Chain A
Amino acid sequence: MTAAVFFGCAFVAFGPALALYIFTIATEPLRIIFLIIGAFFWLVSLLLSSFIWFMAATLTDNKDEPRQRDLLIFGVLISVLIQEVFRFAYYKLLKKSSEGLKSINPGEKAPSMRLLAYVSGLGFGIMSGVFSFVNTLSDSLGPGTVGIHGDPPQFFLNSAFMTLVIILLHMFWGIVFFDGCEKKKWYTLLVVLLTHLLVSALTFISPYSGLNLVLAYIILVLTGIWAFFVSGGSCRSLKLCLLCQDKDSLLFNQRSR
């Protein structure tokens, strides 16, 4: 299609994640490493779920369309489950490694579990978003007309927004999930799993991508608010931050004088 579509969709989908990476992660080497390990965990979970889907598809070996679609839905649900399992596995790994780091290196401050929750969630999200969208994005540079056969013409834009919502949701889920694990609130894990299933299910239950998107964004906002309160924010601190009266900006103002 056009370069405008390519760049527009690329920045819609990956802009916030890129900004988060540049401002919060790129400065600290350890965070970059944890991000990449998180991405790797998501990749392994995808590998496992593709394998299961592939096995199921070859074993049933039924070529008619409804059966294929059922298998696909099965694949999606299994994939969501495995992703959450790997998120838990990553949590366990981080827990073990942070204890190890602390014992060997008492002087250096190890990153807190909250920070690791954010980084791991972002890692999962970036990898998930990239895998979902990058092939579509590269196709958008080629020739063609979207929706020529009656499909919705806003295909690229819808995909971009959906990718964005998935990335941000993974980040929030990571924060909430790790907090639930830390405080042993196991219902939190269940809620995260169910929300993830809901967001994925929305994409195949409702054929109207507009409705999907709106619902997904509502879930995003709710999960974001939950993650905010879980990670220690409060209405008061938010107000202080927005009015630039919080401690950091006060110190900054003093320094500049």
Chain B
Amino acid sequence: MLTFMASDSEEEVCDERTSLMSAESPMPRSCQEGRQGLENGEGAAQWRGQESEEDHEEDPDRYVCSGVPGRPPGLEEELTLKYGAKHVIMLFVPVTLCMVVVVATIKSVRFYTEKNGQLIYTPFTEDTSSVGQRFLNSVLNTLIMISVIVVMTIFLVVLYKYRCYKFIHGWLIMSSLMLLFLFTYIYLGEVLKTYNVAMDYPTLFLTVWNFGAVGMVCIHWKGPLVLQQAYLIMISALMALVFIKYLPEWSAWVILGAISVYDLVAVLCPKGPLRMLVETAQERNEPIFPALIYSSAMVWTVGMAKLDPSSQGALQLPYDPEMEDSCDSLGEPSYPEVFAPPLPGYPGEELEEEEERGVKLGLGDFIFYSVLVGKAAATGSGDWNTTLACFVAILIGLCLTLLLLAVFKKALPALPISITFGLIFYFSTDNLVRPFMDTLASHQLYI
């Protein structure tokens, strides 16, 4: 889900897992309330985000939220478009980085392309004798995986509805612990093996401990925004690598297709779990789980620092921005009652006006985009053209999704268009373009 933290009310934007919501936000309340909600909401979000094996968390993450400022309609449109290109680029960069990490790992570290068993969510093997049996097994695997996702999402919605925030928080912390320590350890081990670099255990322990501890702090508590973004990209890449390794070939493609359909249904249908989650969060005026969302919003909130005296280095705190993002709408000149004057010497006041909007994208989107591109890089012929074609297709899908957001101004899922384009381009490039380009290259012809 993409979120335009465009000076929007919190309800809209940060609450759910970043649906693409270009919503007309009602008058934002004060930051204090938002803060409370944030602390609670954080837990929920994080729990969902950090689940390692469950990818149900992606469901909420697959929304794109676009906040449209609570301004008169004409201005809204203009501002949305005016900031549209910048937001698209603010999303292109992290998505590209995640994909680059995944593709680089896939191409160099053999471990992630070796078949070493399957997850329990995909119990049917694809080593069957006939094509029909294989297809059937992959469909069954997909059904199981998708039902696990649906069940988990509904469970999450129920937990959220009954305000079991502690439970959610705890689960989220468990998952991020596993991602940041265990998977990082495995990843580091495989990379060192590939490059034949020896590392003794004390050094390894120190490295992994520092990496993981700083990651936990950055993601779940406070830390520099850039560091938080980097950690979120890294855990998305790690998660995507796990999927690429453990999902069998055909199952992976069918799962990608099915997840896009589920995303579409869950966000747009009135009784969809994600939509219900969005609405619940809106009713409660709570911000969304920050750790599940990649936020590119900058910290402008000089004013916010006043409201929140404990956040002294306001420039460095991602959760304040989370809150502040939601409070960005508060930070706008339109709502002077909560916008404190800038601290002396703080240079960025115009910046606030300019950069008050950030963009948020759910981690699930990152993960599935990277799974698609990584699978394209991993399978078969070592062809770079297929990988590049999928990459361009996904970026174009993202562009189109943002455009649709600007047009429809309501919650939209971020996965379907990109994944559809990605799948179309993967299969067509692999089967049609590759033989053509290979033949041309071997005859040294240029088109």
Contact = CB atoms under 8 A, between A and B. Distances in A.
A138 B386 CA distance: 14
B82 A47 contact: no
Contacts of B425: 43, 47
Interface residues on B, range: 35 or more
Contact of B428 (A47, A104, A204): A47
A201 B383 CA distance: 26
18 contacts: A29-B89, A33-B85, A37-B399, A40-B393, A47-B428, A47-B433, A50-B428, A72-B445, A79-B447, A104-B81, A105-B82, A108-B78, A135-B383, A135-B437, A135-B438, A135-B441, A159-B444, A203-B444
A136 interface: yes
A101 interface: yes
A188 B384 CA distance: 35
Interface in B29-65: none
Interface string B115-150: 000000000000000000000000000000000000
Contacts of A28: 85
A75 B383 CA distance: 21
Given A37-B399, A134-B385, A200 B432 contact: no
A76 B447 contact: yes
Interface string A185-225: 00000000000000110011000010000000000000000
A45 to B, nearest CB: 10
A83 B445 CA distance: 16
Contact of A209 (B433, B440, B444): B444
A66 interface: no
Question: Nearest 4 A-B pairs (CB), nearest first?
Answer: A29-B89, A29-B85, A50-B436, A30-B85
Nearest to B399: A33
Contact of A162 (B86, B92, B443, B446): B446
A134 B395 CA distance: 20
A167 B352 CA distance: 40
Interface string A76-97: 1001100100000000000000
Contacts of B388: 130-131, 134
Interface residues on A, range: 35 or more
Interface of B: 77-78, 81-82, 85-86, 88-89, 92, 382-385, 388-389, 392-393, 395-396, 399, 425, 428-429, 432-433, 435-441, 443-447
A50 B440 CA distance: 11
Interface string A13-53: 00000000000000011101100110110010011011101
A132 B442 CA distance: 11
Main secondary structure, interface of A, reads helix
Nearest to A80: B447
Contact of A101 (B81, B92, B443, B447): B81
A116 interface: no
Contacts, number: 114
A72 B443 contact: yes
Contacts of B399: 33, 36-37
Contact of A203 (B86, B436, B446): B446
Contact of A83 (B81, B85, B447): B447
Contact of B78 (A32, A37, A47, A107): A107
A88 B149 CA distance: 45
A250 B120 CA distance: 69
A69 interface: yes
Contact of B92 (A32, A49, A104, A163): A32
A51 B429 CA distance: 10
A113 interface: no
Interface of A: 28-30, 32-33, 36-37, 39-40, 43, 46-47, 49-51, 53-54, 69, 72-73, 75-76, 79-80, 83, 101, 104-105, 107-108, 127-128, 130-132, 134-136, 138, 158-159, 162-163, 166, 199-200, 203-204, 209
Given A33-B85, A33-B88, A105 B78 contact: yes
Contacts of A108: 78, 81-82
B399, B443, B445: residue with the most chain A Cβ atoms closer than 10 Å:
B445
B431 to A, nearest CB: 8
A136 B441 contact: yes
Nearest to B88: A33
Contacts of A199: 446
B385 A131 contact: yes
A75 B436 CA distance: 8
A12 B396 CA distance: 28
Contacts of A162: 446
A105 B74 CA distance: 10
Contacts of A135: 383-385, 437-438, 441
A190 B447 CA distance: 17
B81, B393, B399, B432: residue with the most chain A Cβ atoms closer than 10 Å:
B432
Contacts of B444: 158-159, 203, 209
Contacts of A130: 388
A133 to B, nearest CB: 9
Contacts of B389: 43
A165 B280 CA distance: 58
A54 B435 contact: yes
Contacts of B432: 47, 50-51, 54
Contacts of B78: 104-105, 107-108
Contacts of A200: 445-447
A47 B446 contact: no
Contacts of A39: 392
Contacts of B89: 29, 32-33
B211 to A, nearest CB: 30
A62 B86 CA distance: 52
A69 B436 contact: no
Contacts of B445: 72-73, 76, 200, 203-204
Nearest to A163: B446
A95 to B, nearest CB: 17
